[in-house]
A and B are shown apart, each in its own frame.
Chain A
């Protein structure tokens, strides 16, 4: 189970930009819209598999393919300390 670091805030900025802010360290990152949606899903405690199904239905992409992309993104987020993975 993935969890967003509690000190993170997600914001859509001006001109269709997407941002992650860490209220503890003050650091911030721009992310693409897909990553933003995934992180927003985690924030709302939506499981990645549910997100994958939604994206698959909305864009007509294979669910397994979407899930693989989400897993890859989450692995990077775990590495960067934005997300924790719990058993």
Chain B
């Protein structure tokens, strides 16, 4: 009697577990489907681009030629150089500013309603559509500061665009440093600046770098703000080289040079009626995606490497 009762209960428990497991099963199927819809769509697109663009992708002259009226001899050179130089300006403007702003906000700013307000607004800035940044830049950099429709204008615009990303990533990384580590540093007599310099910056470096690279990966594909400030679509020259063979070996004329960037080059080819140019556009698209993927991969790797020695 007693035994039978127990067996019955056990069977009930087993049935219940089975039912719950079914829920797990159903959910994982739905989740997988959702994942697939996203992934497969993107993958199809990417493969399609490769299939369309592969004749160009495989030819060296595509990377060493200027744009041309003839699709067959049109190349990416000025866009590649333009994108690199613009990214350089973006990096040099957004990183120091973003990191310093974040350190100030986390370590020095008094915590009150005003800093809360700033905090909310910084996060909101990250969500502002990029074309708005383009308008801002057109007004500020092109008309007021008279920097022209140049590399420096584009670089600063994209710098502004990714500034919130850098700030947020840096702050999060700083916040993850345990209080115990800070107190340990203060307890041996460190000043605030020593704590920031010897500990905060060093331990949050991986997180900062990740934020910077992800921001840059976003910036490299940005088209709208660049169009707004007036990038050229047909550039058959290179900006003056930043490094020269004669003293002082650095040259800043390139900053004020006209330019084009990868997504704009792609867009301009795409808007040609001739089918032949679409091959070029597809190839340019593949390059943009690859650059972005490589940057993200690099960010993940750096993060892993930096965090290996840090356990929190």
- Does B bind A? no
